[in-house]
Amino acid sequence: MVERREIEHLGDLVRIELKDPEKFIKQVEEILNYFDKLDNVQFDSDQTLRKEISMENLRDDIHEPFDNYRKLIAELKKDQNNYTRAPKMI
Amino acid sequence: MNLGISAKEFISQVREGSLSVEEFVAKTLDRINQVEGKVHAFITVDKNAIDKAKELDKKIKSKEKVGKCFGLPISVKDNICTAGIRTTCASKMLENFVPPYDATVISKLKSEDAIIIGKVNLDEFAMGSTTEHSYFGPSKNPWNPEYVPGGSSGGSGVSVSALECIVSLGSDTGGSVRSPASFCSVVGLKPTYGLVSRYGLVSYANSIEQIGPIARRVEDIAFILNIIAGKDEHDNTTLDNKNEDYLTGLDSGISGRRIGVISQMIAEGIDDDVFSATNNAIEKLQSLGAECIPVSLDAVEYSVAAYYTIAAAEASSNLARYDNLRYGFDFGLEGYEFNAYVSKVRSNFGQEVTRRMLLGAFVLSAGYYGKYYLKAQKARSMIKSQIDKAFKQVDLLISPTMPILPFKIGEKINDPLKLYLSDINTITANLSGIPAISVPFAFSKSGLPIGIQLLANSLEEKKLLQAAYALQSITRLPEISI
Amino acid sequence: MTKIGLEVHCQLTKLESKLFCKCKTNYRTLPPNSNICTICTGLPGSLPMLNRKAVEKATMISLALNCKIPEKISFFRKNYFYPDLPKNFQITQYNAYGPTSIGSDGKIGIEGKEIRIRRIQLEEDPGRLIYEGSSEKTMVTLVDYNRAGTPLVEIVTEPDFETPKQVRIFLNVLADLVENIGISDPYLEGALRVDANISMGEGNRVEIKNVGSFRDVEKALHFEITRQTSLIERNIPVQAETRHWDDARRITVSSRSKEEEQDYRYLPEADIPIIVMNRDSIEYMKKQMPESIVARRERYIQKYDISPQVADVLSSDRFYSDLFEKSHNEKNAKEVANIITTDLMGFADTREKKMELKITAQHVSDLANSIVNNKLTRNSAKIALQEMVKDGKPLADVVAKLDLGHVSDMSSIEKIIDEVFQDELQAVSEAKQNPDTINYLVGKVMRKTKGKADPTVTLDIIRKKLSTQE
């Protein structure tokens, strides 16, 4: 049973203000119940679907300024000294 | 001028001088003006397209070297970054975002002189299967505008089928290229995970998604794939496809090929017209020399739960960056504390995105990782292992792309789980990373498109495209009337 | 029983580029938001590109701290929201689902105590925050992403430290280590940051964060021990919490209750493949690494017959042991070691003084050779050194200027001894009975010759004279 409090907590975790948490309760619960199907998955394998690479395939340690810095800084929200402004965290 | 020509035809006509790029692009822009009111495929139309077309005509006239695309007009799903062109992901959160860089696929196409006609509509951040979850309003199926065009790459499917461009780039995470392809009666390919660079694709579920082409003809898909596929230094997850040429031998046919019919995807519950269309397709393929045998992939049962668990989890992390501080939309921060500001601006996400973020937060939260996320990854491995086993017996797999027909706009929007379940045929390819293509095959009695899906093992796009081409060769489809 | 554990963040300042992009790793003098790209600002569609050298450097520190290096390493995302995090997650490493970080289960000896290293992980630094306007009361923070994405190595120890002094020694050794294996400049502002956690007896664990310089860590721990002790004495339970170091007031202040553990919702970083660690590369790195402190110490004792105490002191200071390496040869090694540890270290013991030191390997070896070849007494050498430290003049000049030449010819010494015998009639007669008083006479001769007389020769002659006298 998913409660309003849990939905609000989840909203807090992902920083989304929920105007009407009640609206999500039924659907989230239904979907989570459907996910419970995964409990029945029995499969053990060392094989991972993730790609594996060796260190040689990694990037060299070379400095290169971004080729379109002008466009990048133009698009960034900033003040007159090029700092980005953010509300303070209490 | 026939706007319905294939890329192959377009290029050959421009090359031989019987078609001017400028004229074609101008006609395309007219067409867009003409139909957009009915189908709403585009979020942004690039007015510079006509200038690029003029430049290209000049180059061609003066016999200068011109890229393979010769001015081919393409539309790009609005979650793929295009430098200087607004890229919104159909979200308020990126309403004003203009990327300072091109996605790798865009750089590649531009260097081959493709022309970007505009950015097309999608479900917000690619989360959805109907394009109804767009901040800019839904796109509509050109075969019947009261019906959904599929999603999340609805704008891609629509713009190609409504002749607003020749080819489109979409993205496919759970079927988002194949579903609109099927619903709009066009071809759509999801390549092997890692075949096409994701640099510049705005992340939703980064261990699963791929950029994929949508076109009216299989040969056009192969043509575009040749340009966009291959290892990319900007994306460590890309694979080396050894410069494979997907066009040569496209017409080799499928004689002697063994095709597995996925029993779980042609079972009870699918639409009758879809069922009979699928059987029809199987017969046709057999008549071309293929051997079709039933194949069972019982792991498919877990695929929807596994997919949505993983996708939601990754989405909740990938979308965390949208706090409106570096880019986004206008909303002053005066008077707010940090967390309050961030939560407030993020309340502008649509319902579907919000729902998936909540689910994603849940499955990753302390204590639940093992129960959901880890199990989902296990299911994924299980699916891949069954796929590998199947491909020891057969060369390809087949199923209907969608178990249902296109439905009316608004019909399923309040039943997310039901919608998730309609992805059951497409999700298997995403979870296992294998390539899959939807080929338009038939129409229902009610005049709605039905697509057939073919799948091959990892990096076997060549085999896949040959089979799709063969199926296309014995299919006759009506012309779009809109 | 006091238990202290550390979490040390060390920037890999020796790298040219950031951990996941090609922007510069050294951001300190750059104008705000000038050292950025799509990746370190977390722009939509950007993907991290792992720096191979960062993996190599992190491997080296893991090897230097005797950690196990896994066969495969991978990265995770730590999800939380903060103004300095461009993606609102940090790409880091995480061992809860298996040892996949660059190092684990290591150890290092600090003055006889073994400190276990729980894990070492590679991760990215966030951006920097400053406050708009001058006062802390302002509601807006300014963010500079120049630092975002700078490579960090996080070193986590078990709570094996028992005293703040041990912590200080460990940090000095660590700073020395990272500098000398070429991975970081630990004295750059912000390059080495330390969080500590401390519990006393059965009490709760307190975390101390935001200690500005790692020299302040010892002070913060001392304060915290005092604070906790006083609570314990009054039977007040110590709260489990996070405290930060207030540099101005020199105290720790409560930040937030540790009960509100953040839920970081870790998940694998799918944009970075699993990296298979090349065993051959690791062996190669092991060989490339500069000799460890322990190995140096052993070599000094075995090869040069240097005493263990001197070897200890010399080997644990990289600046001076490097000086030793450059100045010594087979013959003068012991003397060089003595000069450095007994005399030179006293002149320059801080990093700043070492940097300004005008003494070179040439000075030291000249000095040592003079002593070994009996050209200078140890005393004279001390005086010469004092002079050379001032302006780095070569030994020959100093010897000439101060007239420090060795007086070892018998007749000159005899003459002076006779003079001293005249002046110290009482001492002479005492010396005949009490051999210890001979040293007093030797001392007088040394003073008269301004230390230039060879003490051995002097002693010899005095003894002879005393025994022949009657």
Same domain? For C61 and C198 the reply is: yes
Neighbours of B406 (CB within 10 A): 27
ipTM of the complex: 0.96
Give ∠ CA B31-B108-B244 in degrees, rounded to 5: 110
Q: Domain end: C253, C283, C313, which one?
A: C283
Closest CA to B405 of B278, B312, B306, B308: B278
Same domain? For C252 and C329 the reply is: no
Cα–chain center distance at A1? 26
Phi/psi region, residue C302 (left: phi>0; alpha: psi -120 to 50; beta: rest), is alpha
Of B333, B344, B417, the CB nearest to A17: B344
The tokens of B240 are what?
A: 């080396």
A87 and B336 in contact by Cβ < 8 A? yes
C343 in Cβ contact with C372 (< 8 Å): no
Q: Which residue has the tokens 């390919």?
A: B189
pTM summary value = 0.87
The tally of domains found in chain C comes to 3
Rg (CA), chain B: 21
Task: Using alpha carbons, list the distances in angstroms from residue C162 to B358, C157, C166, C201, C246.
Answer: 44, 13, 7, 11, 23
Check B91, B152, B197, B203 and give the catalytic one. Answer: B152
Closest CA to C378 of C462, C460, C454, C459: C454
Of A63, A64, A84, the CB nearest to C33: A84
Distance in angstroms (rounded) separating the CA atoms of residues A76 and C377: 70
For residues A23-33, average pLDDT: 93
Check B176, B179, B203, B432 and give the catalytic one. Answer: B176
| pLDDT value of position B432 | 96
Touching chains, B (3+ CB pairs < 8 A):
A, C
Instruction: Give the model confidence (pLDDT) of B220-267 as tens digits.
Output: 999 999 999 999 999 999 999 999 999 999 999 999 999 999 999 998
Q: Give a yes or no: residue A14 inside a domain.
A: yes
Closest CA to B25 of B74, B62, B59: B74
Q: Is B77 a catalytic residue?
A: yes
Q: Domain end: C349, C368, C402, which one?
A: C402
| pLDDT value of position C409 | 63
Residues 40..59 of A with a Cβ closer than 8 Å to C: which?
A: 48, 50-56, 58-59
- Which is higher by pLDDT, C188 or A48? C188
- Interface with chain B: mutation pick from A22, A43, A46, A84, highest number of B CBs within 10 Å: A43
C45 and B81 in contact by Cβ < 8 A? yes
Distance in angstroms (rounded) separating the CA atoms of residues C448 and C407: 11
| C265–chain A Cβ distance below 8 A for any pair | yes
> Nearest residue of A to residue C272 by CA position?
A51
Crossing angle between the packed helical segments B300-318 and A21-35, to the nearest 10 degrees: 140
| C131–chain A Cβ distance below 8 A for any pair | yes
For residues B433-458, average pLDDT: 98
Percent of chain B clearing pLDDT 90 (strictly above):
97
A52 and C263 in contact by Cβ < 8 A? no
The tally of domains found in chain A comes to 1
With a cut of 80, say whether residue B113 has pLDDT above it: yes
Same domain? For C127 and C260 the reply is: yes
Same domain? For C394 and C458 the reply is: no
Of A19, A38, A86, the CB nearest to B376: A38
Structural domain that includes position A21: 4-39
Q: C267: distance to nearest CA of chain B, Å?
A: 7
- Sort out which chain B residues have CB atoms less than 8 A from A21's CB and list them: none
Same domain? For C156 and C18 the reply is: yes
- Sort out which chain A residues have CB atoms less than 8 A from C72's CB and list them: 52
Instruction: Give the model confidence (pLDDT) of B59-72 as tens digits.
Output: 999 999 999 999 99
Same domain? For C168 and C279 the reply is: yes
Residue B349 backbone dihedrals phi, psi, to 5 degrees: -65, 150
Q: Give a yes or no: residue A33 inside a domain.
A: yes
A88 and C139 in contact by Cβ < 8 A? yes
Q: Give a yes or no: residue A19 inside a domain.
A: yes
Q: Is B47 a catalytic residue?
A: no
In chain C, which residues have pLDDT < 70?
A: 111-112, 133-137, 256-261, 294, 405-410, 470
For residues B32-38, average pLDDT: 97
With a cut of 80, say whether residue B152 has pLDDT above it: yes
Say how many residues make up chain C: 470
Helix (H, G, I), strand (E, B) or coil at B64: coil
For residues B376-393, average pLDDT: 95
Instruction: Give the model confidence (pLDDT) of B334-371 as tens digits.
Output: 999 999 999 999 999 999 999 999 999 999 998 899 99
Helix (H, G, I), strand (E, B) or coil at A54: strand
Of C17, C274, C276, the CB nearest to A61: C17
Q: Domain end: C374, C402, C430, which one?
A: C402
The tally of domains found in chain B comes to 1
Same domain? For C39 and C168 the reply is: yes
Q: Give a yes or no: residue A27 inside a domain.
A: yes
What is the four-CA torsion angle of B433, B434, B439, B445, rounded to 10 degrees? -70
Residues 28..87 of A with a Cβ closer than 8 Å to B: which?
A: 28, 30-32, 34-35, 37-41, 43-45, 47-51, 53, 57-59, 68, 71-72, 74-77, 84-87
Cα–chain center distance at C411? 51
Q: Give a yes or no: residue A71 inside a domain.
A: no
Interface contacts A/B by beta carbons within 8 Å: 155
Residue B192 backbone dihedrals phi, psi, to 5 degrees: -55, 140
Neighbours of C355 (CB within 10 A): 10
- Interface with chain A: mutation pick from B330, B358, B414, highest number of A CBs within 10 Å: B358
Same domain? For C351 and C256 the reply is: no
Structural domain that includes position B469: 7-250+436-473
Of C44, C48, C88, the CB nearest to B323: C88
> Nearest residue of B to residue A11 by CA position?
B358
Same domain? For C262 and C358 the reply is: no
Q: Give a yes or no: residue A63 inside a domain.
A: no
| pLDDT value of position C259 | 47
The tokens of C302 are what?
A: 């075995």
Q: Is B119 a catalytic residue?
A: no
| pLDDT value of position C297 | 80
Same domain? For C122 and C171 the reply is: yes
Of B94, B207, B233, the CB nearest to C270: B207
Q: Give a yes or no: residue B383 inside a domain.
A: no
Distance in angstroms (rounded) separating the CA atoms of residues B195 and B237: 9
Same domain? For C113 and C258 the reply is: yes
Touching chains, A (3+ CB pairs < 8 A):
B, C
B339 and A51 in contact by Cβ < 8 A? no
Check B20, B52, B75, B77 and give the catalytic one. Answer: B77
> Can you give the CATH number for the domain in which B203 is found?
3.90.1300.10
The tokens of B292 are what?
A: 């079709």
What is the four-CA torsion angle of C25, C28, C32, C33, rounded to 10 degrees? 0
Structural domain that includes position C141: 2-283
Q: Give a yes or no: residue A62 inside a domain.
A: no
